[in-house]
Amino acid sequence: MATLPRSLPRSSPPASSFLPIAGALGLLTGACVGLDLPPPEELFVGLAYTDPALHPDAPRVLIAPTGPARFAGALLARFDTRESAARARALAVAGGDGAAALDQLAVVLAGAGFGALAGLGLEDSGTAGGAPRTLAATLEGATRSHEAVLLVAHLRGAGNPDGPNNARGAAGQAGVALALAEALEAGELEVPARSLVFLWCEDAAASHAWLARGSHYVSAAVFSRLAPEPDAAATASMERDLDPGAAGGSMGTPERPRPDGLAVVARCALADVAGLVGGWRTSEAPFAGAGERRPFITVGVPTVLFRAAAEEGTAAAGDRGQDVTRENLRRTCVAAGATALALADPVPADLERYLLTNREELDLRVRDALEAEDGALAERWRDWCTGVRHWFRALCLDRPE
């Protein structure tokens, strides 16, 4: 077993802190992880997330100062929750006028000096002929700038132009972009190896048009949707990519998708944020249908979708700044940002954590399938998790799969 670093980066929990991880069974508190780490085999591995559509348990997550943990602390510290909530309210007032909402975002980002910070630039396209617009902010990668990890927020959902708008998702993503720029300027984080592209899109067609232009090789896409929707998956913090657990909703996507580890990285990011904030009840759901992610998945781009569940007793429709709490906005968007950064800037030290978490998923999924007397499903999960293992080796060690 590889040796983990003996000290925590600035973005990790302070000395003598506990890492309580929330799950369907309630808050679970893990072993103390401080500045002097115990041997890797003694690091707390706790039940962290539930897959409500499949099983009351969930894959366990190795808690370690690697992967998304290298970024989550800096983003949490610099994320301006009050300003992000105010932006969400302003964007929600625009309602279905996506172009007006993007105009507001462009003004906010430019007014904050976003273009001048850390080499980040703004691109506004799609205005000709009334085409759906995209506002893009690109942080060029340090060594692999031709490759990009996307952070995507659609103001309106696929095929539902009159449905709830995603004002909180768009505002929260702007908060992450500004937090990242400030952390880079302060020297708390370094420019990642791959480019990081923030996309704010009038609707799903706009992001698909951006993808078709081919300005970067897109290695992964992380979506944020913080508007309530009338499906079960919307109550989950994270919806996985198309894997063997997908609930019959391929919707034109490949029957045998190529394995990827985005769900593992996202699961680790949720655990890291939960530890930093002192506990956070989260969950995940299997892929429920491609929707806004469909064109990305069909061309082989790995995806993951982050959500923030509406609080009980709040409005069931619309995104008017009431349905998702400020703190859930902050936590969910920071988890999405930390996931994207971990994918854009992987290092060999990340590998062990990902492989152990992937192994936990393999054991759980195969056990569930065998208990259900579904040998074919068990074999699909074995194949999937084997592919994920190779995917992580290629990602973290920079080797071909």
The CATH number assigned to the domain holding 300 equals: 3.40.630.10
pLDDT of residue 236: 65
Does residue 25 sit within a domain? Answer: no
Does residue 356 sit within a domain? Answer: no
Q: Rounded to whole angstroms, how far apart are CA atoms 306 and 332?
A: 7
pLDDT higher for 212 or 260? 260
Does residue 169 sit within a domain? Answer: yes
Is the pLDDT confidence value at 49 over 60?
A: no
Q: Rounded to whole angstroms, how far apart are CA atoms 290 and 32?
A: 40
Find the domain containing 131 and state its range. 71-348
pLDDT of residue 57: 55
- In this predicted model, what pLDDT tens digit does every residue of 151-199 receive, in sequence order? 999 887 555 555 557 888 899 999 999 999 889 989 999 999 999 999 9
pLDDT of residue 124: 62
Q: Rounded to whole angstroms, how far apart are CA atoms 276 and 19?
A: 7
Instruction: Tell me what percent of the residues of the chain surpass a pLDDT of 90.
Output: 37
Does residue 18 sit within a domain? Answer: no
Does residue 98 sit within a domain? Answer: yes
Pick from 340, 322, 343: nearest CA to 226: 322
Does residue 188 sit within a domain? Answer: yes
Is the pLDDT confidence value at 386 over 70?
A: yes
Does residue 185 sit within a domain? Answer: yes
pLDDT of residue 112: 67
CB atoms within 10 A of CB 291: 21
pLDDT higher for 10 or 307? 307
pTM, to two decimals: 0.81
Does residue 280 sit within a domain? Answer: yes
* pLDDT band, very low/low/confident/very high, at 29 (cuts 50, 70, 90): very low
Q: Rounded to whole angstroms, how far apart are CA atoms 28 and 10?
A: 24
**Domains held by the chain: number:** 1
CA distances from 326 to 68, 79, 321, 332, 360 (A): 22, 11, 9, 10, 32
Is the pLDDT confidence value at 302 over 90?
A: yes
pLDDT of residue 316: 36
Give the H/E segment covering residue 60.
strand 60-62
